[in-house]
């Protein structure tokens, strides 16, 4: 980043809490330093324990969600909406991780190298997300309009404002797009992870792998930008098929970047609490993650205001009615909560560098923003139920917990099999010695 620097080992100065960059890399799961310290790079039994617990919680929570949904008047509709909110919230983290590892390779980032493997593992969990999407996607493809009214072509043809959208909003074309989205994300995330893990065992210094990943990252970023945009159109915006906004993809993208930086900070804090990456990841790395959380808090507000301002100014009924529903009754209260709690309060809360360098305060704001992103997804999707008030129920909590726990289980399953640091990357010494000013 523009406000940071990395000191070489020739200065004789070792950053507090980090390994000296003059050391070699051991093959026993840690990296050595000139001071004789080493770092634990593997989850081992911690990962296995997390996998079992998270998988159990996830299955139980989703089973409870299905039971609660069955008790509703229109059980599939209520369950589907709650599940969709949880799913698109979880995709902000997974999609954000794919963007994060791609951008780090494009810019040849040095500071983030010690965080990269954790990000690659989060991104590679896209297969779990594809499986978690099935309760939403399969009914839609089969023509069930529980969430998406356009799944029923008869309803589309009967509405003069919608029948012209049938060329895009139809189940066959959606199925093709869905397979392409997750197929591309699966390929890209596993390409980066496999290249990165393979680099650990290369006999050379790993420079060729660095070049190969950079060459792939540039074109891949263009495709990613398009896929995440149309994903947001398809799974969120089209829940109200009459509404449209060309800025909506960027709005969702802002949440993705905010979510992954918050998740990386929390994950690395948890790993260090378990004695993993304790010397490799320092306060300087957390400081940069905090900067990104702060920056995309502002970016989210900027895109959200720009989208609202342009729609308000144009005053087109198909666009303004979408906001009108969300600005009345308790939906309006939630809109004000998002304005102040998603932007104004965290803006001032994250402004100080001391907050971003203190792990407790950074963890607080990371959790805070992840909660706000969930509420934002709730505000975007749930009004399509046609209810006048915010209908928050236990099923919303259980679906969120179930999706989150299954995702964590998938991450733990993969993470326990690999080192959590790219030990053979030639940029590692600079990342270990990274300092923030």
Residue 92 has pLDDT above 90, yes or no: yes
Beta strand extents in 239-289 (DSSP E only): none
pLDDT at 175 over 70: yes
What pLDDT does 353 receive? 95
The mean pLDDT of 328-353, rounded to a whole number, is 97
Q: From CA 343, how far away is CA 372, in angstroms rounded?
A: 9
Nearest to 384 by CA among 81, 29, 126: 81
Tell me the sheet residues that pair with 253: none
- Rounded Cα gap, residues 206 and 428, in angstroms: 11
Q: Which pLDDT score, from 0 to 100, does residue 25 have? A: 38
The pLDDT mean for the chain works out to 90
Work out the average pLDDT over 146-161: 90
Residues 213, 108: Cα–Cα separation, whole Å = 10
User: Which pLDDT does position 197 carry in this prediction?
Assistant: 94
pTM: 0.91
What is Dmax (Cα atoms) for the chain?
Answer: 75
State yes or no: pLDDT of 341 exceeds 50: yes
pLDDT at 1 over 70: no
8 Å CB contact between 391 and 23? no
pLDDT at 437 over 90: no
pLDDT digits (tens, 9 = 90+) for 208-234: 999 999 999 999 999 999 999 999 999
pLDDT at position 363 over 80 = yes
pLDDT band, residue 73 (cuts 50/70/90): low
Backbone angles phi, psi at 147, to 5 degrees: -110, -45
pLDDT exceeds 60 at position 5: no
């Amino acid at each position: 980043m523009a406000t940071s620097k990395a000191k070489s080992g020739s200065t004789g100065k070792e950053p507090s809490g980090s390994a000296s960059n003059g050391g070699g890399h051991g093959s026993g799961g840690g990296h050595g330093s000139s001071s004789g310290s080493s770092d634990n790079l593997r989850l081992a039994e911690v990962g296995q324990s997390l996998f079992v617990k998270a998988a159990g919680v996830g299955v139980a929570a989703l089973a409870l969600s299905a039971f609660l949904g069955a008790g509703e008047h229109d059980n599939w509709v209520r369950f589907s909406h709650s599940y969709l909110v949880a799913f698109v919230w979880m995709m902000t983290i997974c999609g954000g991780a794919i963007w994060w590892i791609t951008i780090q390779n494009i810019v040849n980032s040095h500071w983030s190298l010690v965080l990269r493997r954790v990000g690659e593992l989060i991104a590679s969990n896209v297969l779990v997300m594809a499986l978690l999407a099935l309760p939403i996607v399969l009914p839609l493809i089969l023509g069930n309009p529980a969430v998406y009214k356009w799944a029923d072509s008869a309803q589309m043809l009967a509405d003069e404002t919608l029948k012209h959208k049938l060329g895009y909003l139809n189940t066959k074309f959606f199925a093709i797009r869905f397979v392409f989205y997750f197929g591309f994300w699966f390929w890209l995330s596993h390409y980066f992870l496999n290249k990165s893990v393979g680099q650990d065992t290369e006999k050379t210094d790993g420079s060729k792998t660095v070049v190969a990943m950079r060459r792939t990252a540039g074109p891949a970023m263009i495709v990613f930008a398009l896929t995440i945009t149309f994903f947001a159109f398809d799974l969120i915006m089209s829940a109200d098929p009459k509404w449209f906004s060309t800025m909506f993809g960027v709005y969702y993208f802002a949440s993705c970047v905010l979510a992954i930086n918050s998740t990386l900070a929390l994950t690395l804090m948890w790993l260090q609490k378990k004695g993993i990456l304790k010397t490799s990841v320092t306060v300087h790395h957390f400081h940069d993650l905090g900067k990104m959380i702060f920056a995309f808090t502002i970016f989210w507000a900027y895109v959200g205001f720009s989208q609202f301002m342009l729609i308000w100014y144009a005053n087109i009924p198909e666009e303004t009615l979408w906001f009108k529903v969300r600005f009345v009754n308790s939906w309006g209260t939630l809109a004000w909560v998002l304005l102040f709690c998603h932007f104004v309060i965290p803006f001032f809360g994250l402004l100080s560098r001391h907050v971003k360098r203190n792990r407790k305060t950074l963890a607080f704001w990371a959790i805070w923003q992840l909660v706000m992103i969930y509420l934002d997804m709730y505000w975007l999707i749930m009004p399509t139920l046609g209810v006048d008030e915010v209908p928050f129920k236990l099923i919303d909590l259980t679906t969120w917990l179930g999706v989150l726990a299954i995702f964590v289980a998938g991450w733990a399953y993969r993470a326990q099999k690999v080192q959590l640091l790219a030990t053979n990357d030639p940029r590692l010494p600079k990342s270990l010695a990274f300092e923030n000013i």
